[in-house]
Structure 1
Amino acid sequence: MSLDTRRVVATIMVCHFVAAFAALGMPPFFALILERSLHSDAAYLAGWLYIVPVFFTAVSSPWWGRLADRYGKKPLLLRAQLGLAASFLLAGFAPDAATFALALALQGLLGGTFAASNAYLATVVSGAALSRSLDLMQWSARAALVAAPAGLGVLMTIESPLELYRYLALLPLAAAVLIARLPSPPASAAAKPAARAPAVAPEARANQIYAAQFAFIFATVLTFPYFVPFAQAASQPASLAMAGLLFGVPHLVYLLCAVPLSRRLVPGRLLATLALSFLVLAGALAAQALLPTLAGLTAGRLAMGLGMTLGFISLHALIAAIVTRERAGRTFGWFESNAKWGAVGAGVIAGAAVQAIDLRAPFFIGAAVLLAAGAYLGAVAAQPRNP
């Protein structure tokens, strides 16, 4: 990549990080916001509020993607950042839980910065460079997921935590200013007909990648809502601080390993790498459920981080191989929607499984899904490809 292209990718990554910082950092404190700012004793609403923006992002992403292909990636990326800022402002001034829920719904409907950012990047880079850029975008999301709860937790001592949304709205506004200064894709490129098919066919069809992504997101997110109580109820109970640290371990592994491992991906072996990542993740989830000690959980979380990293970078490479500049908005919109539906389904199934069985159930369900998906991907990878 040229220096100018690197600057564009870096700007998009930073803008996504500051937007994700608020979007991912506030949900862990919804129960506190309900109690101290909205004066509601309905603590169960926190779980439903967590799903609201995810659900509406799943619904709206394909639509915004089609509009990006029609009217341009940069205008729709600006729209996403401004929509996020508007929803944060409404949340910051919400007088009751219903208005707060509406603000979160608008966050999902009007946001979608991840898919919009990826679609814009597809107009700047392609192929292996796009795959590496997607790895960096996921890096910014994982960094926000690790840093935001800790950073915002320090500020939760104010009388009304809800007011933080008013200040957090400045972050996507600042991102919009930076994005406005980025170059727009050339009109000739937008009008250019789709390129001819490459000499080497992609390793996987779009529907196979969709299915693999759904299984990956579903099985990993399945354990997120109940990991902390699971760790605290283990045979060697972890403190709240230790449980939080263990929760973040897979994301930290991604931050440390994604870039070096992405350089070692072997073209033509992406499906095999994805299958391997699923099997590693399946073993890691099963190990955590079967060995609920500090040592067992630590080893399981480290292995989970390795599996997640291999899974993300191989998925990104597979997606980059099928995306075209002309349909980048639609492609990334559908992939973002698919991921969000996986997260919504995981939240619903995890709650039902824990209530019907116990806290280990999400780990076993996730392991079973990944084992089946990994076996299928391995079989597909072993078949000879048509040129």
Structure 2
Amino acid sequence: MERTGTRAPAGLRTRQIHAVAACYFVASFAALGLPPYLTAILPSLGDTEARWAGLLYIVPTVFSALGAPLWGRLADRYGRKRLLLRAQLGLAVSFLLAGWADSLPAFTAALVLQGVLGGTFAASNGYLAAALDGHRLSWALTLMQGAARLALVAAPIVVGSLSPWVSPHRQYALLAVLPLAAALMLAALPEPPRPAPQAPGTPAAGEAEAAVPAARSPRALYALEFAFVLATVISYPYLITLVGQRLPGLGPFASGVLFALPHMCYPLLARPVHTAVAHRPLLGAVSGFALVAVALAGHWGAGTVLSFVALRLLLGAGMTLGLVSLSALAADACRGRGPGRMFGTLEFISKAGAVVAGAVAAVSNDVWGPAAPIVAGSAVAALTALVSTPTLLRWSR
């Protein structure tokens, strides 16, 4: 990555890129850290058996997916910084309402608002894409994914540590200060200029050699994004249950570590992987899908701590390859297009994949047990790798 103080084509400094990623990280704490505690929150709101936990878990995701394309178009029209600030302030308001809700309908309405008013990931990516291009943009998007991985690992731990003093329900209101602080920090950043329209797929000056044919089609990017989210997220909900069945003597902390291992790999591997795949993103994506397929398939027969650790680390390598490659594809696909609209659509596709993954995981677990969703994720990843290979071979000639 470039040294601090160098300027991107539109004048965005490296430390400002880091600021955007940091703001996304802190704003994601409540969004990612509190939903796992819905079963502890809902009894105090009248749902004594927490029957609505599964549905409420995906409510913000569904409404975020529905709102993302609209917010993206508005960002292209009225300014990316304005819409990024709107997203952070929207999260702060919705978290405050959730933290002080005293009934299940009020809490549900707050989660709906969280989805409708949020969308910080698409807004942040749209802001970066309006100021950066090529290699720097793909690395900035890689940093954003790193922020998401770190929040996914750290947030549940922090929420659990605070629970003896502040209930998870009231932590919504407490953690509302994080997106508010992020908005104040972002207010100091510049508004990216609106560059003159460029024909889709046309490389920026001096980057013709870095243009990747695969990334010229947003449709290919959208398909790969949906498949990757579906293949990986489908393995999340019932992993702890599977580990508990296979390793009954393992405590909850160790099970949590096994769950988090793939996400811990990303910060360690992202930089070298980005260097390797920045100019070969389709190859990186296909390789990532292949590793994910092998790692998830291995969970079917895993029965020891060592085997689970090895498979989780292999899954982490595959997830890093896939996520970094998708960032590089996105950086190329948005060239010459409205970044707000493109990243809004990309977030819609990603959230749709997560919703489908949750539904398929629930159904397959009910029918075949906790290993079934993980094997289904392996099948999706393997099929995507096989379908993408002919295109990869054709473009490599």
TM-score for the superposition, normalised by structure 2: 0.92
Pick from 274, 277, 285: which aligns with 1:262? Answer: 274
What one-letter code is carried by the residue in structure 1 that aligns with 2:57?
A: Y
1:128 aligns with 2:135: yes
Aligned to 2:333: 322
Aligned residues: 381
Query: Which digits, 9 at most, give the CA deviation of each residue in 1:204-247, with x for residues without a partner?
Result: 42111111111110010001010101100115653211111100
CA distance in structure 2 between the aligned counterparts of 1:292 and 1:349, rounded to whole angstroms: 24
Aligned to 1:381: 392
Are the counterparts in 2 of residues 81 and 175 from structure 1 also a CA contact under 8 Å? Answer: yes
3-state SS of paired residue (2:373): helix
Are the counterparts in 2 of residues 202 and 322 from structure 1 also a CA contact under 8 Å? Answer: no
Pick from 18, 21, 37: which aligns with 1:10? Answer: 18
Report deviation, 1:98. Answer: 1.3
Aligned to 1:194: 198
What one-letter code is carried by the residue in structure 1 that aligns with 2:148?
A: A
Report deviation, 1:193. Answer: 2.3
Aligned to 1:232: 244
What one-letter code is carried by the residue in structure 1 that aligns with 2:189?
A: L
1:168 aligns with 2:175: yes
Report deviation, 1:72. Answer: 0.7
For residues 98-117 of structure 1, what are the structure 2 equivalents within 5 Å? Answer: 98-117=105-124
Pick from 80, 94, 100: which aligns with 1:73? Answer: 80
What one-letter code is carried by the residue in structure 2 that aligns with 1:88?
A: F
CA distance in structure 2 between the aligned counterparts of 1:306 and 1:280, rounded to whole angstroms: 7
Aligned to 1:157: 164
Query: Which digits, 9 at most, give the CA deviation of each residue in 1:76-133, with x for residues without a partner?
Result: 0010001001100110110111111111111010000000000000122111100000
Report deviation, 1:160. Answer: 3.9
What one-letter code is carried by the residue in structure 2 that aligns with 1:98?
A: P
CA distance in structure 1 between the aligned counterparts of 2:237 and 2:85, rounded to whole angstroms: 32
CA distance in structure 1 between the aligned counterparts of 2:29 and 2:336, rounded to whole angstroms: 28
Query: Which digits, 9 at most, give the CA deviation of each residue in 1:246-271, with x for residues without a partner?
Result: 0000000112111222122252x321
Report deviation, 1:44. Answer: 2.3
TM-score for the superposition, normalised by structure 1: 0.95
3-state SS of paired residue (2:130): coil
Aligned to 2:222: 210
For residues 5-84 of structure 1, what are the structure 2 equivalents within 5 Å? Answer: 5-35=13-43, 37-84=44-91
Report deviation, 1:201. Answer: 5.5
CA distance in structure 2 between the aligned counterparts of 1:261 and 1:384, rounded to whole angstroms: 21
What one-letter code is carried by the residue in structure 1 that aligns with 2:255?
A: A
Q: What is the Cα-based RMSD across aligned positions, in Å? A: 1.7
CA distance in structure 2 between the aligned counterparts of 1:296 and 1:358, rounded to whole angstroms: 20
CA distance in structure 2 between the aligned counterparts of 1:201 and 1:218, rounded to whole angstroms: 25
Query: Which digits, 9 at most, give the CA deviation of each residue in 1:354-379, with x for residues without a partner?
Result: 00111111111111111110011111
CA distance in structure 1 between the aligned counterparts of 2:214 and 2:225, rounded to whole angstroms: 15
Pick from 275, 279, 289: which aligns with 1:278? Answer: 289
Identity %: 44
List runs of 5+ in structure 2 lacking aligned partners: none
CA distance in structure 1 between the aligned counterparts of 2:383 and 2:168, rounded to whole angstroms: 43
